[in-house]
Amino acid sequence: MKYDLNHTFVTSDYHFRDWTLFGGVLDESTKEEEMQHVELWNSVVDKDDLVLYIGDFCDGGVGDLEELSKKLNGRKILIKGNHDELGDEWYHCAFEDVVNEMRIDELNLRLIHAKEEVKDLRPGERVIYGHEHRLMSEPPTTARGSICVCAKWHGWKPITLAEAIRQMDAAQG
């Protein structure tokens, strides 16, 4: 598959329907915050863009997956995270494909939910990951060759693959 770096987005860890992420109980303010996150997503992603979603999409059920998928712009591929616990077949209602990790060989790039799960890293291979957001007041430092794309650290907006690569390559270390 060929990737248009300016129309392919990466993001992770929205944890839709995990109301504890927004204060503990399901109430109108948490629903409102979730809708704001949907609006922020849609403010950068067009309906024909590709989103490589790197884990922990929705802590609800299949009905929630379908509902959210219809609200969020873009064609979506899920790289499963530790909270994506349903069988792969259930995620196909919201995602074109479901994988545990993804390699994009022409970009020497690996996408995986948790950076600590990376094995057999190739020389010069970049890593785009999520997972690092809870109990953290500051984002993990972007190092040369890796970046955390948790939505929390990017203003609740997916970032383009071009921007993720630019940030990794510009990082010191």
16-31 pLDDT tens trace: 876 555 555 544 557 7
Domain borders along the chain are 8-170
- What is the pLDDT at residue 52? 98
Say which residue the tokens 């979730």 belong to.
Answer: 34
Strand pairing class (101-104; 75-79): unpaired
Task: Domain 8-170: give its CATH architecture.
Answer: 4-Layer Sandwich (3.60)
Q: Contacts from 67-73 at CB under 8 Å and sequence distance 24+?
A: 68/16, 68/17, 68/38, 68/94, 69/93, 69/94, 69/95, 71/38, 71/42, 72/38, 72/41, 72/42, 72/45, 73/41, 73/42, 73/45, 73/46, 73/47, 73/49
For 25-34, 44-53, 132-141, 149-158, which range has the lowest pLDDT when averaged over its residues? 25-34
Q: Say which amino acid occupies 24.
A: G
Closest to 3 in 3D by CA, of 38, 39, 49, 59: 49
Q: How many other CB atoms sit within 10 Å of the CB of residue 82?
A: 12
Tens of pLDDT, residues 68-85: 999 999 999 999 998 888
Q: What's the mean pLDDT in 138-147? A: 80
